[in-house]
Amino acid sequence: MNSNDFLTMFLNAQIWLVVKLFVILALLIYLIFAIVIIRQVDLMTKAINFSLDGILKIIAVIHFVGAIVIFLVALIVL
Amino acid sequence: MPDVYVAPQAKLPIRVDNLTLNPIGLNFETRDDTEEVVLLLRRHVITNIPWIIIAIIMLFAPLVLSFFPLLSFLPLRFQFMATIIWYLLTTAFIFENFLSWYFNVYLVTNERIIDYDFFNLLYKNTSDAELNKIQDINVQMGGLSQTLFNYGTVLIETAGEIPNLEFDLVPNPAYVVKVIRELEDQIPPGGNL
């Protein structure tokens, strides 16, 4: 392996590291968004009570837990 | 079409063309003890079709990628994460659109009309007007879809400084106007029920 090949391989690895950081950052922002959705559902159900309120709150929490799981998977897999 | 609004005592919920008369178990934060919800309105179900079509396309988009490998330049682990993140975004898209439809409601009670609007994520706007402040009610219907599925916008002009209310794309607008007018007629002169 000459020095050029080594440099190319190194730069290639660095690019994917940068992409990984961006993905992690995006997923962190998404986690905040998932928290906002929980807050939003809470706010809405306080304003008006419907029969589906409980189910919607559960879906919002499941969505948040899913976002955490995907964030952790991204940390491990990428 | 069944008879419009019989009496405040009629407690059974009745579904009439996508709107609910006398909804059971419905409560809202500014409700008076004596106040009864007569009519619960949302945008017509058919208005959800555009985002449902987009959601279906989003759900099947990763399958299309298996025929046209646009992401093949990515390492396998990134392709895997891209698919998972895509489905996460699709879930959020569906949930947000459903919430927006489900909680943007218009209520007609035996005392007033209320418009609940939830914009974006955290902005809420509630407008209400007492029935005896209503001056004029207009119905706007236009286009193929609205004529075909019988939905439209009910514009309610109110007296004085109270902002006008708009029931956007509600089903059976003529029926809504009829209910409001009948409730108005039941108000004794100079006050609410």
Give the residue numbers in A contacting B (CB under 8 Å), as ranges.
16, 19, 23, 26-27, 30, 33-34, 36-37, 39-41, 43-44, 46-52, 56, 59-60, 63, 66-67, 70, 73-74, 77-78
Question: Are B117 and B126 in contact, with CB atoms under 8 Å apart?
Answer: yes
Across the interface, whether the CB atoms of B122 and A39 are under 8 A apart is answered yes
Alpha-carbon dihedral angle through residues A40, A42, A43, A48, given to the nearest 10 degrees: 120
In tens, the pLDDT along B106-154 reads 989 888 899 988 877 677 888 888 888 888 899 999 889 899 988 999 9
Give A63 or A3, the one with higher predicted confidence.
Answer: A63
Q: Would you call A23 and B102 a contact, using CB atoms and an 8 Å cutoff?
A: no
Write the CB contacts of B7 (distance below 8 Å, at least 6 apart in sequence): none
| pLDDT for the residue numbered A26 | 93
Q: Does ipTM exceed 0.90? A: no
pLDDT by residue (tens digit) across B30-78?
Answer: 788 788 888 888 999 999 999 999 999 999 988 887 787 777 787 888 8
Task: Please state the length of chain B.
Answer: 193
CA of A48 vs chain B CAs: smallest distance (Å):
4
* Residue B156 · residue B134 · CB < 8 Å: yes
The pLDDT assigned to B187 comes to 76
Are A50 and B58 within 8 A, CB to CB?
no
Residue B176: enclosing H or E segment and its boundaries?
helix B173-186
In sequence order, the β-bridge partners of residue B152 are B170
- Contact (CB, 8 A) for B115 and B161: no
CA distance B114 to B130: 9
